[in-house]
Amino acid sequence: MTAHETMIEIEGVTKRYGETVVVENVSLSVAKGAIAVIVGTSGSGKSTLVRTVNRLVPMTGGKISVGGRDIMSMPATELRRGIGYAIQGHGLFPHRTVAANIATVPQLLGWQKARVDSRVDELLTLFELDPAVFRGKYPHELSGGQQQRVGVARALAAEPEVLVMDEPFGALDPVIRGKAQDDLLAIQKQFGTTVILVTHDMDEAFHLGDMIAVMSGGRLLQYATPEKILTEPADPFVQQLTGTSDRALKLMSLSPLKQAMEPARPGLARSLSQDLSLRDALAEMIWNGVDEAAVENEAKAPVGSISMRRLLQLGKRS
């Protein structure tokens, strides 16, 4: 997989309802295997935009390609079977068991029963839901977090290359929400799925996104890496949405790298001194364009590593 290979290409997409413009001339591309998070306040157009990708909302103008194919060149049903879709509150069928819910799209695609059963069990196991216990349960017998996991498992069931998620964790309490986000990251990494996800929660955007799109009033204000959004907001609204990044960076300058580093990983090209502050480490990594660096002690021996993702998480927690 090449870094620049594009999976989702959104070009000049506009959506109007009568005279009201809900999405205005938005263009962005999502690389294969990346997570793009669209963030904005209520009414910013973010949910409408992602729903144009699987044609749940028809565009008024513009073009969208998924995997190099114009989405208008195929029947909507075919398009949607190839794109996983997960929403807030999970949208499970209440009168179907967990197994039947997850099997929905594979069955539509005509998979053999053995293959469907094995996929259901694989996904339940991945989400730490014992198949023997959960296959036959109904949605109302599950907790909110379990329902959400089944919702995401259903979206992933037919091995889609693209997963569209609209506020998928919005209804979960903060503790379960963090776990659900980590589940998503682990599973996305395992399958190499390309994800486009909507949230109003900037912390969630920083935690999950390889790229973040900030929308307001139907327009795209900035589409950039989390570190760019944090350090070079393109608009006062972006700065406001990320919180006072000055405060986060000031707090990062008081936190030593050696207290935040992760285990050492061989083969990292760039190294940083453990005596740097988190802010200085972030600045060095942005300057050198690296996502991960080794951490060395005074004797230049590797004692750990640090990733951009972890630094940004720590920065947002500040």
Q: How far apart are CA 199 and CA 168, in angstroms?
A: 8
The CATH number given to 246-317 is 3.90.1280.20
Instruction: State pLDDT tens for residues 97-136.
Output: 999 999 998 998 899 999 999 999 999 998 889 999 999 9
The helix or strand, by DSSP H or E, that contains position 9, with its residue range, turns out to be strand 6-17
Is the overall model pTM greater than 0.85, yes or no? no
pLDDT tens-digit readout, 158-188: 888 999 999 888 777 777 777 788 888 888 8
Q: What is the mean pLDDT of residues 53-60?
A: 94
pLDDT in tens, 240-277: 777 654 556 656 766 788 888 889 888 888 899 998 88
Inter-CA distances, 310 with 33, 58, 149, 268, 274, Å: 19, 38, 24, 16, 15
Pick 188 or 28 by higher pLDDT: 28
The residue extents of the domains of the chain are 246-317
Query: Is residue 2's pLDDT more than 50?
Result: no
